[in-house]
């Protein structure tokens, strides 16, 4: 669903309300990724959400038509404060946090290139953690706690045999962990889908290469997957 205000689509579906006086774009980027990134594409933030509109596309034409970023900031802030019914939940963020998100989004939406300086380091790259190795019969692959559609690492190893799969999830976003043979073979095991806690499953694996991924619709396509080598 698209809401249009003065010809500009206001399309956030993962944020909350209210504003403050001093805007912090670093905090805004972190909050956007954690609270909004699972729903929206925003290239500069590195988010690839699939359930909400692509924000870069939403504002691209308006910027070409001369609609300024300060005006976009106000529109984004208003949508956070007064979300369109049925499009996004209210009160996920409040006060200065909502203002910080609006400041960051308006400054980078539909902008080419990448964030620089402190903004570049505000959020870790999705899946960029060190490879994960199974220990004592357990392979624990956590969902990204910052809200990105990724696991903490996109590489894992395990010896062959019976393995307990664990997926710690502190993101507050629905995720699970499924393991399939190769890249398009049958799914051999999968944990329940959870928002918080540790999901578990058991699988017996032979030597070979497997793919682990999240089964929530859109998450694998957004990059929530990795390679598991069993040897």
- Residue written as tokens 């058991």? 202
CB 126 within 8 A of CB 147: no
Strand residues in the chain grouped as ranges (E): 3-5, 8-10, 41-42, 47-48, 132-133, 138-140, 155-158, 161-169, 178-181, 187-190, 197-205, 208-213, 225-230
pLDDT at 20: 43
The sign of the torsion formed by the CA atoms of 123, 128, 129, 130 equals negative
* CATH 3.50.50.60 is the classification of domain 132-230: no
| Model-wide pTM > 0.85 | no
Q: What residues contact 189, with CB distance under 8 A and at least 6 apart?
A: 165, 178, 179, 201, 202, 203
pLDDT at 128: 78
pLDDT, tens digit, for every residue of 54-98?
999 999 999 999 989 999 998 888 888 778 766 677 777 878 998
pLDDT at 158: 98
pLDDT at 28: 96
Helix axes 55-64, 69-81, angle to 10 degrees: 140
Give dist(CA 38, CA 146) in Å, integer: 10
Counting as low any pLDDT under 50, the low residues of the chain are 1-7, 10, 12-20
Going from the C-alpha of 123 to that of each of 26, 29, 34, 118, 146, the distances in angstroms are 9, 8, 10, 10, 8
pLDDT at 84: 77
3-119 and 132-230, same CATH topology: no
pLDDT at 21: 53
pLDDT at 86: 64
- CATH classification of 3-119, choosing from 3.30.930.10, 3.20.20.140, 1.10.760.10, 3.40.630.30? 1.10.760.10
- Residue written as tokens 């499953």? 201
Sequence length of the chain is 231
pLDDT at 168: 98
pLDDT, tens digit, for every residue of 43-56?
999 998 878 889 99
Collapse the DSSP code of 43 into the 3-class scheme (helix H, G, I; strand E, B; otherwise coil) and give the result: helix
pLDDT at 87: 66
Give dist(CA 62, CA 138) in Å, integer: 51
- Domain ranges for the chain: 3-119, 132-230
Going from the C-alpha of 153 to that of each of 31, 54, 108, 183, the distances in angstroms are 21, 25, 27, 17
């Amino acid at each position: 669903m698209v809401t249009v205000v003065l010809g500009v689509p206001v399309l956030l579906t993962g944020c909350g309300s209210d504003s403050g006086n001093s805007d912090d774009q670093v905090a805004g980027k972190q909050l956007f990724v954690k609270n909004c990134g699972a729903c929206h594409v925003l290239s500069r933030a590195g988010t690839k959400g699939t359930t909400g509109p692509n924000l870069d596309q939403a504002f691209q034409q308006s910027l070409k038509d001369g609609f300024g970023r300060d005006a976009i900031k106000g529109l984004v802030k208003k949508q956070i404060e007064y979300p369109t019914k049925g499009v996004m939940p209210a009160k996920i963020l409040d006060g200065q946090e909502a203002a910080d998100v609006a400041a960051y989004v308006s400054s980078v939406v539909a902008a080419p290139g990448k964030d620089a300086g402190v903004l570049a380091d505000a959020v870790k790259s999705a899946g960029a953690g060190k490879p994960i190795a199974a220990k004592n019969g357990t392979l624990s692959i956590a969902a990204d706690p910052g809200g990105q559609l990724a696991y903490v690492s996109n590489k894992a190893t395990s010896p062959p045999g019976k393995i307990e799969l664990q997926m710690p999830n502190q993101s507050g976003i629905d995720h699970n962990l499924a393991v399939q043979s190769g890249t398009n073979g049958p799914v051999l095991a999968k944990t329940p889908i959870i928002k918080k806690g540790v999901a578990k499953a058991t699988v017996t694996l032979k030597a070979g290469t497997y793919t682990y991924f999240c089964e929530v619709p859109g998450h694998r396509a957004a990059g929530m997957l990795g390679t598991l080598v069993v040897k």
